[in-house]
Structure 1
């Protein structure tokens, strides 16, 4: 389990980027973080695997505190992280070299490294690109390579920070499908950070952030029930939920109905 216990973090401007965060998620869960620009979402991503260290409170990964000076790379081995722009993460001259880079740093045996690279590339459908330079790939293919580079290290948790925001709708759906498959079939715990709420309606739970503080958390129906407040903090709700909100406001629905089929049933 990854736990945030009363976590505070500030950059050099002496303002809390995140303040008094309390939440947790476990292996096999798909948990989402939403919030407007500058709300602290990316800071949370970096705190989760020790790229940033809290100034107050604790981030605890399977019983290990990220601030512990004696942990070495154990947290980063447990918690993989993928960012918004895959171009900023490429290191190798070929896709295969790039995926294998982390394994080389860990001195993993060459045969074992080749096996792992082959396994994750086949799982993500990018095996035909292994000898190609990453620069020739599409946005969706590049993001799959970035995810492969994290998965090849066999993490128990995966933090995905706006990984679909630069992608076309088809590539976005592919990435979401892959991520949910990792949760269901491999039991990886996923912390999914996004501004696209359409992608997260079936999250195990959702945490909404504003100005570094948690303002609400729960299942989609709970979090998205206050449409006007979410809009005021820069969060757009999924289309079905906005339609329900609009129809209720016009007196055409008597209660909150959140999904398309439910709306149709109530109106017919």
Structure 2
């Protein structure tokens, strides 16, 4: 599997005039492969969003390097190539929506690239269908729900046809229904269209669906593994100020009470099966 994003001893600090610099990322060495769904977890201020912004050259390292499909993000003449490969969706969809009609917003970046109108029409329709927003193509974005707005923002990135989409806490401002809509869209893009996904989130039930989890704490990568490997370490996650899925927490407490419960329950279906067995 091709390595799409990699960091080599990535170091980043915010430089402050007449004050001590603020270290945010320290010696980060990770990789994200083509077609993979990776979730990045960490408490507020851990550096996870700063890390995400390095993936498409929004931020540049102060030490080490970030490679996107072999391209060093520090090369100023390759920023366009990098951002064609890596699209980014931010927390607040209102910050990414620029037009007054949904389909015009999705077409905005394509028009700026000088793409032929017929190709733009095709890409816009395809992108809106992929996020299940085609029927809203002539609506005004301000009339949409938060989850619908975020799906329009994702469609705008999909239309660019990147190899990877980085989502920086895309559901943080949404209600449960909007969160489900966006997560389902992300999972469908990954599993049905082989889009590489890097999801920065503080919702553990979203991270459960990833292929791999990276946990960041105070600018360091402290854990990496499958969701089952990560969430089975309940005490360590709590030491880092992080939660685990509710079903994992429930089974952990049952085990502390002496009941024969496995360590690696991470889905509602698994928890239901465990409880049924205990009650028999």
Same-fold call, TM > 0.5?
yes
Cα distance change of structure 1 residues 251 and 86 upon mapping to structure 2, 3 Å threshold: same
1:152 to partner: Cα distance: 0.4
Unaligned runs of 5+ in 2: none
Query: Which stretches of structure 1, 4 residues or more, deviate above 4 A after TM superposition?
Result: none
SS in 1 for 2:24: strand
Kept after mapping to 1: 8 A contact 2:229/2:264:
no
Q: CA separation in 1, counterparts of 2:161 and 2:108?
A: 14
- Aligned residue pair count: 268
Aligned to 1:204: 211
The answer for the alignment partner of 1:9 in structure 2 is 12
| 1:174 Cα deviation from its structure 2 partner | 1.9
Bigger relative contact order, structure 1 or 2, given CA contacts below 8 A and separation 6+?
1
Shift of 1:55: 1.1
Distance 1:77 1:65 in 2: 14
Q: 1:131-184 CA distances to partner (integer Å, 9 max, x unpaired)?
A: 222111111110010000100000000001111122222222221111111111
Question: What is the aligned partner in structure 2 of residue 216 from structure 1?
Answer: 223
Name the residue aligned to 1:96. 103
For 2:261 and 2:144, locate their aligned partners in 1 and report how far apart those are by CA, in whole Å: 49
Please say if 1:225 is aligned against 2:267.
no
Match of 2:274 in 1: 263
The equivalent position to 1:124 in structure 2, one of 121, 131, 139, is 131
CA drift at 1:221: 2.1
Q: TM-score, normalised by structure 1?
A: 0.95
Unaligned runs of 5+ in 1: none
Q: Once the two structures are superposed, what CA deviation does each residue of 1:23-57 show, in whole Å capped at 9, x if it has no partner?
A: 11112111100010111111111100011111111
User: In the alignment, which of 118, 133, 149 is matched to residue 142 of structure 1?
Assistant: 149
Q: How do residues 1-268 of structure 1 correspond to structure 2 at under 5 angstroms?
A: 1-13=4-16, 14-253=21-260, 255-258=262-265, 259-264=270-275, 267=278, 268=280
